[in-house]
Amino acid sequence: MKRAARVKKRGRAPIATWLTEPMSRDVRAAIERVARLDGVARIAVMPDVHLAVGGCVGMVVATSRRILPQAVGGDIGCGMLAIATDVGADALACPDRSGALLNRLRTAVPAMRHRDLASAPALDGLQPSLLSTASLAKRAEREGRIELGSLGRGNHFLEFQRDEEGRLWLMIHSGSRCMGQAISGAHDANAERAAGGLRCLDAATPAGQAYLNDVAWARAYAAENRRLIANAAGAVLNELIGAALLPETRIECDHNHVRIEAHFGRELLLHRKGAAPAAEGEPGVIPGSMGTESFHTIGRGCADALRSSSHGAGRALTRTEARRRVSPERLERQLGDVAFDTRLADRLCEEAPSAYKDIGGVMRAQRELTRISRRLRPVLVYKGV
């Protein structure tokens, strides 16, 4: 796909793009607004780019010392985990067996939260006291515990998938649950309003350092959340069919963060919102949708892309548009033989495959950024509503 010229226009940072189609006017305006901020060094736009609350998903922003919380988003540390099992995907071919697995997952992996503190996992190793305020630490010790090990709603999911060789894989998409939102809200109060209405923090100030500290904590929380979900799903799978997860096959990446990285001979603050790291040789996971292919990838380390890739297919329809256009019957036709809880079909229409961009086109648009190491198709999908 043709990319935008990498020539810095007067008064704004250079923007490099990898697109499946021209950007909409609203998306272009949102990106230009960021590019004209002081301290923004470069921007890379991924092929899954789309407008979201507070900015664009599928955008990577490099700054010298300015922190842009809206270029990270509220679900800090949201990301992917994939791990193989020791059985073939045909183990879930029986409808009774896949139905039993879906029923057990609803109990083992809560969509939103555990019943209470007594049933919630401990915050082992996360140390809420490391958070920047006592109120955030208190939030972690209660709501953070109750939501730890839960999936979340929207585009978050747990899937069992078949690779090209017929092996069964587990893939999880989830994030920092209530804690990322709480951290974003707490630091928004300390942010200054810059040109274009964007809110900013200075990394050289105590407020900026506090935000970076809490982002690191939220990323650790999100990784622990995915680990617990995988353990719970693996235990259910083992109980039902005697299968085991294979730890040595684990692949994990997160796609909502800000961290210090070296680019173009200098240290920069790299903001990714809906964009995965894709350094040379770095493994990644890029999902499609409920009814389409997903991919395991290896980064190519493209400098102009700020060593990043897309985090998924990206929405083609807003949730409101999808609910209007996709009926439960159409959703079921799109999913074909993928097992899911049909009782939830009317509430899952906004996640229909047709609500997302063509993942094949997205992967072709970013051949310069990442290469495909494995293709997988969904066998069973569990989503929270």
Burial 120-155 (b: 16+ CB within 10 A, else e): bbeeeebebeebbeeebbebbbebbbbbbbbbbeeb
Overall pTM > 0.75: yes
Q: What tokens appear for 315 in the block?
A: 């929405």
Number of folded domains that form the chain: 1
Residue of 170, 158, 153 whose CA lies nearest to 348: 153
- How confident is the model at residue 4, as a pLDDT? 46
The answer to whether residue 7 sits within a structural domain is no
For strands 266-273 and 55-63, give the pairing. antiparallel
Three-state SS for 233?
Answer: helix
SS (H, E, C) 331-382: HHHHHCCCECCHHHHHHHHHHCHHHECCHHHHHHHCCCCEEEEEEEEEEEEE
The answer to whether residue 335 sits within a structural domain is no
The answer to whether residue 294 sits within a structural domain is yes
Q: Which domain holds residue 293?
A: 15-316+356-382
Q: What does the alpha-carbon distance between residue 363 and residue 296 come to, in Å, rounded to a whole number? A: 11
The answer to whether residue 59 sits within a structural domain is yes
- How confident is the model at residue 3, as a pLDDT? 52
Q: What tokens appear for 377 in the block?
A: 């198709």
Residues belonging to the chain: 385
Say if residues 254 and 79 touch (Cβ distance below 8 Å). Answer: yes
The answer to whether residue 344 sits within a structural domain is no
Q: What does the alpha-carbon distance between residue 345 and residue 338 come to, in Å, rounded to a whole number? A: 13
- How confident is the model at residue 196, as a pLDDT? 76
The answer to whether residue 152 sits within a structural domain is yes
| Active site members | 311
The answer to whether residue 4 sits within a structural domain is no
Say if residues 300 and 370 touch (Cβ distance below 8 Å). Answer: yes
Q: Chunked in runs of 10, what are the mean pLDDT values of the chain (385 residues)?
A: 47 94 95 95 97 89 96 97 98 96 96 92 95 98 97 95 98 98 94 88 97 98 98 98 98 98 98 98 97 97 98 94 96 96 94 96 98 98 91
| Amino acid (1-letter code) at residue 219 | R
Q: List the CATH number of the domain containing 133.
A: 3.90.1860.10
The answer to whether residue 323 sits within a structural domain is no
